[in-house]
Chains A and B, each alone.
Chain A
Amino acid sequence: MIKQRLISALTIAVLVIAGGLAAAQQAGSVKSLRGAPVDEFVPVDKIYKQDEKRFVRNYRQQPPLIPHAIDRYQIDLSANQCLACHDWSNAGDRDAPTLSMTHYLDRDGNQLDAVSGTRWFCNQCHVPQADAPALVDNVFVPSQ
């Protein structure tokens, strides 16, 4: 009787220890939601709306697409808010692409300091990019 009890007690003890060891081992390999040790830098995912990357031109003469929203920008007779970053005088400070130098030529080919009046309305040629299916069939063929 005593022997039996001793055997069951030993069995239970072995099982408990084995189970504990297994649990301890598993605890070591548990993956946190963070996916990395606490002292490791985990970069935050970038938030992209429209500016994930600049779309490449579909043909050589295509006006580059705008990789950001422009719906609240004022472009009218008195002001052009695009130029607050993209004019040559601000582009460096604002880390923005400068207008092409062709946009500083008037219709007679004279160099100007400010953007030419013929190039004032940016969104006549440049539009925000969108990764969306075409609304209508496009049969455009660029000049070769």
Chain B
Amino acid sequence: MSDQDANKGFIGRVWRFVNSPSGVFSLGFLLIVGFVTGVLFWGGFNWAVEATNTESFCISCHEMEDNVYAEYQGTVHQNNSSGVRAVCSDCHVPKDWGPKMIRKIQASKELYGKFITRSISTPEKFEERRIILASREWKRMKKSDSKECRNCHSFEYMDFTQQENRAADNHQVALDQGKTCIDCHQGIAHKLPAGYLEAYEDVVADLTADGFLPPPKGYATASSYGDLKTYLGSK
């Protein structure tokens, strides 16, 4: 036994410890202890993830507090007649477990930006990168059909007769054309950068090119002169 252990490296010895049956504890004890530890670890993990979803955690970085959080003050999702509020994570972190974990792992890149490259450490740097950051969020929203908006806002329960005509008409158009919230409602909680409409069109074009979105329904385009001739001939 000890000869074998001596021959093995650290990983080998750990594997041997994990792999060998317990000679001391009963199966029931191991099951119960395993279950309780599992509950504690899983609960603790979820608690920690939820803690990173709170507003106070988000604005513990001056980048967030001085820029995006400051802009969010007074917008309809922060201050309104009914007092219902959408905090950072309600819009920026998916509710489903899988996408939430993916988003949280992506957020480690943000820590890298904060501590190593300091890419948005001043308002000027933030302003410079705003269009990149905003485009990223628009892309995520467009890809998920504005899932985070629709956690609260759904067309099914939207009473168009209570909306101002201009809004009701446009929401009907959006329904008919299969548009998503972010197609029109950019910059509702944060300031818009210069050239935002063009940047949004680029985001949509990118997603279409990558096959995430169906190609736009529009006029048929001719790829050659022959196409035109056959089209005209058929009329």
Whether chain B is bound by chain A comes out as: yes
Q: Which residues of A contact B (CB under 8 A)?
A: 44, 46-51, 68-69, 72, 74, 76-79, 81, 83-84, 90, 94-95
User: Which residues of chain B have C-beta atoms less than 8 A from A95's C-beta?
Assistant: 169
A74/B192 contact (C-beta < 8 A), A47-B168, A84-B197 known: yes
Report Cα–Cα, A51/B170, bound state, in Å: 14
User: Which residues of chain B have C-beta atoms less than 8 A from A81's C-beta?
Assistant: 187, 192
User: Which residues of chain A have C-beta atoms less than 8 A from B76's C-beta?
Assistant: 72
User: Which residues of chain B have C-beta atoms less than 8 A from A77's C-beta?
Assistant: 194
B163 at the A/B interface (Cβ < 8 Å)? yes
B165 at the A/B interface (Cβ < 8 Å)? yes
* 10 A-B residue pairs with CB within 8 Å: A49-B164, A51-B164, A69-B164, A74-B187, A76-B191, A78-B191, A78-B192, A78-B196, A90-B197, A95-B169
Report Cα–Cα, A83/B76, bound state, in Å: 21
B161 at the A/B interface (Cβ < 8 Å)? yes
For window 151-180 of B, CB contacts with A under 8 Å fall at 161-166, 168-170
B94 at the A/B interface (Cβ < 8 Å)? no
CB <8 Å contact, B161 and A51:
no
Q: Which of A44, A48, A79 contacts B194 (CB 8 A)?
A: A79
With both chains docked as a complex, state the minimum distance between the C-beta of A64 and any C-beta of chain B, in angstroms: 16
From DSSP, what is the main secondary structure of chain B's interface residues? Answer: loop
User: Which residues of chain B have C-beta atoms less than 8 A from A79's C-beta?
Assistant: 187, 191-194, 196
User: Which residues of chain A have C-beta atoms less than 8 A from B196's C-beta?
Assistant: 78-79
Report Cα–Cα, A80/B190, bound state, in Å: 14
User: Which residues of chain A have C-beta atoms less than 8 A from B170's C-beta?
Assistant: 94
CB <8 Å contact, B187 and A68:
no
User: Which residues of chain B have C-beta atoms less than 8 A from A76's C-beta?
Assistant: 191
Q: Which of B165, B187, B191, B193 contacts A47 (CB 8 A)?
A: B165
Report Cα–Cα, A79/B162, bound state, in Å: 30
Q: Which of A48, A74, A90 contacts B165 (CB 8 A)?
A: A48
Report Cα–Cα, A81/B169, bound state, in Å: 19
Known: A44-B161, A51-B166. 19 other contacts (CB 8 A): A47-B161, A47-B162, A47-B163, A47-B164, A48-B165, A49-B164, A50-B164, A51-B164, A51-B165, A68-B164, A74-B191, A78-B191, A78-B192, A78-B193, A79-B191, A79-B192, A79-B196, A83-B197, A84-B197
With both chains docked as a complex, state the minimum distance between the C-beta of A116 and any C-beta of chain B, in angstroms: 16
CB <8 Å contact, B194 and A46:
no
CB <8 Å contact, B197 and A46:
no
User: Which residues of chain B have C-beta atoms less than 8 A from A44's C-beta?
Assistant: 161
Report Cα–Cα, A49/B164, bound state, in Å: 6
CB-CB nearest 9 A-B residue pairs: A79-B192, A78-B194, A44-B161, A49-B164, A78-B193, A68-B166, A74-B192, A46-B165, A79-B196
Which of B76, B162, B170, B196 has the most chain A CB atoms closer than 10 A to its own CB?
A: B196
With both chains docked as a complex, state the minimum distance between the C-beta of B86 and any C-beta of chain A, in angstroms: 15
For window 129-169 of B, CB contacts with A under 8 Å fall at 161-166, 168-169
Residue of A nearest to B130 (CB): A78
With both chains docked as a complex, state the minimum distance between the C-beta of B219 and any C-beta of chain A, in angstroms: 14
Report Cα–Cα, A79/B195, bound state, in Å: 7
Report Cα–Cα, A51/B169, bound state, in Å: 13
Residue of B nearest to A93 (CB): B173
Report Cα–Cα, A135/B41, bound state, in Å: 66
